[in-house]
Amino acid sequence: MLVKERMSRPVIALPPDMPVYDARNLFRQEQIRRAPVIKKGKLIGIVSRQDLVDASPTKATSLSRWEINYLLSKLTVSEIMTKTVTTIDEDTPIEQAARIIADEKIGGLPVMRDGKVAGMITETDLFKVFLEMMGAREVGVRVTALVDDQPGILQKITNAVADVGGSFISFGQFTGEDVATKLITFKVAGAKEEDVKKAIWDIAKEVWDIRECCH
């Protein structure tokens, strides 16, 4: 899966001379948390909801609402934007985008195509991918088990589940307790909970959780 297949679009972009007051209203209206700043088709910065909050006077201010709005109408997006922007190409694997967002502790990335912003990939987009990958909106038997990290173990699991009539909705593999183990989480349809449990019991090192789940 590539970034272009799950990015948010069309892009809501800001001109650099937009007053912060107007940008704040746009964020509220469109329910967005960040937006690229574009001048003559070129990305020159990015503004987040937190940037807009930081630019606004605190509740402890002695200024009137009229004075606050006047000041915000004079302050422009270009004065509060982050000028050094991390971007990502639209053909980048989705997991690489997730790694960059997690490692850099940012909420989203402008997605580039031929030097122009084609979309945004955000934490929300990645959460939606995670829900899809884990089959979170489908009902089935959900299993979490610790298995030995050895060739053929996943085939044994899938064959055992198939033998009791189960078909996989989702399958995830994660770091185990040590280098010799893996933690797997999967969801299957078409099989009963007790039958799935019996099928994998002697294959898994430990079955941590098994349940009917979930809408």
pLDDT digits (tens, 9 = 90+) for 25-81: 999 999 999 999 999 999 999 999 999 988 876 554 555 566 666 666 678 999 999
Spatial contact of 37 and 46, defined as CB atoms under 8 Å apart? yes
Q: How far apart are CA 182 and CA 170, in angstroms?
A: 16
Amino acid letter, residue 21: Y
Spatial contact of 81 and 47, defined as CB atoms under 8 Å apart? yes
pLDDT at site 71: 67
The pTM of the full predicted model, rounded to 2 decimals, is 0.80
Looking at every residue in the chain, the average pLDDT score rounds to: 91
Give CATH 3.10.580.10 domain extents, the chain. Answer: 3-130
13 vs 20, 76, 149, 215, CA distance in Å?
A: 13, 14, 47, 35
Spatial contact of 161 and 196, defined as CB atoms under 8 Å apart? yes
pLDDT at site 215: 64
CATH 3.30.70.260, domain 134-213, yes or no = yes
Q: What is the pLDDT of residues 97-117, one digit of tens each?
A: 999 999 999 999 999 999 999
Mean pLDDT in residue range 150-167: 95
- ∠ at Cα 33 (32, 39), nearest 5°? 85
What are the strands of the beta sheet with 167-175, ordered from one edge?
167-175, 181-189, 140-148, 206-213
If pLDDT is split at 50, 70 and 90, which confidence band does 181 have?
very high
DSSP state of 3: G
pLDDT at site 213: 86
Give CATH 3.30.70.260 domain extents, the chain. Answer: 134-213
Mean pLDDT in residue range 75-89: 94
pLDDT at site 53: 87
What kind of architecture, by CATH, is found in domain 3-130?
A: Roll (3.10)
Q: How far apart are CA 81 and CA 75, in angstroms?
A: 11
If pLDDT is split at 50, 70 and 90, which confidence band does 16 have?
very high
Mean pLDDT in residue range 153-160: 95
